[in-house]
Amino acid sequence: MAERIEYDILLIGGSPSNLALAHHLVDLAKQSGVSFSMAILEKGKEFGAHILSGAVSKPHVIEKLFPDYKDNGFPYEAVCNQSYFSVLANKSKWDVPAALLPAGLKKEGYLVLTLSHVVYWMANKLKEKLAEAPSVTVDFFPGFSAHEVVYDGDTVVGVQVVEKATGNAEEDNIYGKVTCFGDKGFVSRNLIERFKLRDNPQIWSVGVKEVWELPEGSDYTGKVWHTMGFPLVDGSFGGGFIYGMKDRKLTIGMVISLDSPNPNINPQQRLQDLKKHPWVQSLIQGGKMLKYGAALLPEGGYYSLPKKFSVDGALLLGDALGVLDISQLSGVDKAMECGWQAAEVLHEAIQKSDFSEQKLSSYKERVMNSFVGQNLYEGRYFRQAWQENPRLLNNYLPKVMEGVDAGSAHWGLISVGLTHNPVTAVSDALRLKKLMDGKADIGPVRYIEDYKHIVPNFKTSRAIEVNGFDKDTVYSRADAVFYAGTKYHEENRHIDEFNADVCVKCISTYDTLGKETPCVSDCTAEVHRIDDRGGLRHHGMSLENCVQCRTCEIVCPEVNLKVRPTEEGSGPDFMGL
């Protein structure tokens, strides 16, 4: 008979937050001599294999964790030497003057990272550190997923590590006196629902990213661009990001909010559109794509935070908690700070052998009193500022784009006032600035789930104009999947479709409107499809393509899908993203 496997601390996800927690806690234990056992479960086949990020990050938490990181092999791609926020029009680009930008969008001095490499390095560095920490044991479990949270009453006591429970708890579960979820919500969303921790739902965006190798002679090392405008002209909120890395590599990506009225966003194809822009073409022509992938970003920020950050026997960290600040596109440093603060709390909890909610409650105070809470508070109305006023994206942005293409962004700004009511335009601009700077106080914000924004018969009168591009630089969604390196075990069934009849009805609705269902159009990896069986159109899935981004689950208007973690390290290979 199998024995019960129990650790003092169980970390779910080999994530930046959990690895920061592990490093800091081992450092504290080295000083105090406190002893504990820890296990880290990571669903990717290796640490980093399921991690995808931009990523440009302020190095302040990395400096705390690894004071000598620059001489210690820490894998950074570049230090940002110039950052731009640019409006892309059909033909041209306008770099918004730095004086007009909020401080959070100025990235000079920040690190350009490949986050999968960072967590891989952090896991290996932790193994090295353990040689000097005899009071601590850490077991690493790449390729192991937590499938369910295990409770004893209302106390979290561990996780189920098999997809289907056998009924023998000792075989099915790994136990922890405290379980720390840095899993982007993959299983901790069940815990949040069980304890009704969120009054306001989390809202999401999806990020799609490619890494390119540029031809000899190209060098954009340390250059960072964030863009708005082309090709997102349908009123969806989002934009592009382009980061220059060492060795002639370039990151190109888009982040698109899923609170869009458009049921057919198709993020992977929007990224291909971005690459058709003449300026982007000038960067990538003659290069080759190395990697592709996609992942979600929690955008709700301050007003989507759970009421509690801990319950009896468990803590939430990073994106699972929802501390990403979308106003600055910064989640990495905030996730790591969660880990740092959690380590401080757990160091004391271990010594008192007390992992109750009460003992762990100081974690929330610590996070909210740190720069994390401060940034989230300042950016608390950022999404609301764009959600509440459709004129910003539907009317004003296209006017500015017209001005940019006509050679004068300033004329574009003036023409916003001329073609719309100038008083309204000025008051809209002032309110936008006040909300984005966190200077207005409009009380708590209520979000609704992203799919509730979908308008099935959505129409837009605007289309992008494409002025010639190299066909070798764009990829169909089916071809892009190859660059995500997906590989699945046999009998993989990691997406549940709850009710086939609901899908049949949904397909019929969208067929009538001449549109694709949201799952088919917005999947980032050619998984969902419609099968015609004897005239009846059914929903089908090619699960072997899935990159585990969970976009389909968020946009399904009938809440008819659930993406679960895979087994045996199956899924994409995001190393290098």
Residue 207 in contact with ligand FAD, rule: CB under 6 A = yes
Burial 174-192 (b: 16+ CB within 10 A, else e): bbbbbbbbbbbbbbbbebb
Write the DSSP symbol of residue 326: T
Residue 10 in contact with ligand FAD, rule: CB under 6 A = no
* Interacting span for ligand FAD (CB under 6 A) from 14-22, 92-100, 167-175, 212-220: 14-22
* Interacting span for ligand SF4 (CB under 6 A) from 3-11, 188-196, 389-397, 540-548: 540-548
Residue with tokens 């052998």: 353
**What does 183 bind: ligand SF4, ligand FAD, none (CB cut-off 5 to 8 Å by kind)?**
ligand FAD
* Interacting span for ligand FAD (CB under 6 A) from 168-176, 304-312, 329-337, 398-406: 329-337
Q: List the x/- string, 94-123, binding to ligand FAD by CB under 6 A.
A: ---------------------x--------
CB of 448 to ligand FAD, least distance (A): 22
Q: How far is CA 202 from the centre of its chain?
A: 12
Q: Give me Rg for the CA atoms of the chain.
A: 24
* Interacting span for ligand FAD (CB under 6 A) from 97-105, 184-192, 430-438, 510-518: 184-192
Between residues 376 and 519, which has the closer beta carbon with respect to ligand SF4? 519
Binding test (CB under 6 A) with ligand SF4, winner from 192, 464, 503, 577: 503
Residue 350 in contact with ligand SF4, rule: CB under 6 A = no
Partner residues linked to 10 by β-bridges = 39, 179
* Tokens representing residue 559 in the block: 């809440």
Helices (H), 463-513: 477-482, 500-512
Q: List the x/- string, 133-162, binding to ligand FAD by CB under 6 A.
A: ------------xx----------------
Write the DSSP symbol of residue 473: G
Between residues 324 and 507, which has the closer beta carbon with respect to ligand FAD? 324
| C-alpha–C-alpha distance, residues 338 and 16, integer Å | 9
Binding test (CB under 6 A) with ligand FAD, winner from 7, 10, 13, 273: 13
The residues, any chain, with a CB within 8 Å of residue 284's CB and separated by 6 or more, are: 212, 214, 250, 252, 275, 473
Between residues 227 and 545, which has the closer beta carbon with respect to ligand SF4? 545
How far CA 142 is from CA of 14, 42, 118, 375, 493, in Å, comes to 8, 5, 15, 33, 20
The residues, any chain, with a CB within 8 Å of residue 77's CB and separated by 6 or more, are: 111, 112, 113, 114, 221, 243, 245, 246, 249
Residue 449 in contact with ligand SF4, rule: CB under 6 A = no
CA nearest to 298, candidates 377, 205, 379, 367? 205
Between residues 161 and 527, which has the closer beta carbon with respect to ligand FAD? 161
* Interacting span for ligand SF4 (CB under 6 A) from 128-136, 368-376, 461-469, 495-503: 495-503
CA nearest to 369, candidates 331, 340, 330? 340
CB of 460 to ligand SF4, least distance (A): 20
Residue 184 in contact with ligand FAD, rule: CB under 6 A = yes
* Tokens representing residue 551 in the block: 């976009």
Residue 523 in contact with ligand SF4, rule: CB under 6 A = yes
Amino acid identity, residue 310? S
CB of 466 to ligand FAD, least distance (A): 24
Binding test (CB under 6 A) with ligand FAD, winner from 8, 10, 15, 88: 15
Between residues 42 and 234, which has the closer beta carbon with respect to ligand FAD? 42
| C-alpha–C-alpha distance, residues 74 and 204, integer Å | 30
* Interacting span for ligand SF4 (CB under 6 A) from 146-154, 189-197, 303-311, 519-527: 519-527
Phi-psi region of 514 (alpha: psi -120 to 50; beta: other; left: phi over 0): left
Residue 561 in contact with ligand SF4, rule: CB under 6 A = yes
CB of 538 to ligand SF4, least distance (A): 9
Amino acid identity, residue 188? S
Binding test (CB under 6 A) with ligand FAD, winner from 271, 324, 360, 432: 324
* Tokens representing residue 222 in the block: 């340390």
Binding test (CB under 6 A) with ligand SF4, winner from 78, 111, 549, 577: 549
**What does 560 bind: ligand SF4, ligand FAD, none (CB cut-off 5 to 8 Å by kind)?**
ligand SF4
Site for ligand SF4 in 226-265 (CB under 6 A): none
**What does 268 bind: ligand FAD, ligand SF4, none (CB cut-off 5 to 8 Å by kind)?**
none
Sheet with 111-113: strands ordered across: 56-57, 111-113, 76-79
Q: How many helices (H) and strands (E) does the chain have?
A: 21, 22
Phi-psi region of 212 (alpha: psi -120 to 50; beta: other; left: phi over 0): beta
Partner residues linked to 496 by β-bridges = 562
Q: Are 281 and 297 in contact (CB under 8 A)?
A: no
Residue 382 in contact with ligand FAD, rule: CB under 6 A = no
Per DSSP (E only), the strands in 68-118 are 76-79, 82-88, 93-95, 111-113
Between residues 267 and 438, which has the closer beta carbon with respect to ligand FAD? 267
Binding test (CB under 6 A) with ligand SF4, winner from 228, 385, 547, 577: 547
CB of 57 to ligand FAD, least distance (A): 4
Which stretch of DSSP H or E encloses residue 176? Answer: strand 173-181
How far CA 507 is from CA of 478, 520, 562, in Å, comes to 21, 10, 18
CB of 457 to ligand FAD, least distance (A): 30
Residue 331 in contact with ligand FAD, rule: CB under 6 A = yes
Phi, psi of 530 (to 5 degrees): -110, 125
Site for ligand FAD in 256-275 (CB under 6 A): none
Phi, psi of 507 (to 5 degrees): -60, -40
Residue with tokens 């585990």: 548
Which residues are at the interface with ligand FAD (CB under 6 A)? Answer: 12-17, 41-44, 50-57, 115, 145-146, 182-184, 186-187, 207, 209, 253, 255, 295, 297, 317-320, 324, 329-333, 335, 565
Residues that bind ligand SF4 (CB under 6 A): 495, 497, 502-503, 506-507, 517-519, 523-525, 527-528, 539, 546-552, 556-558, 560-561, 563
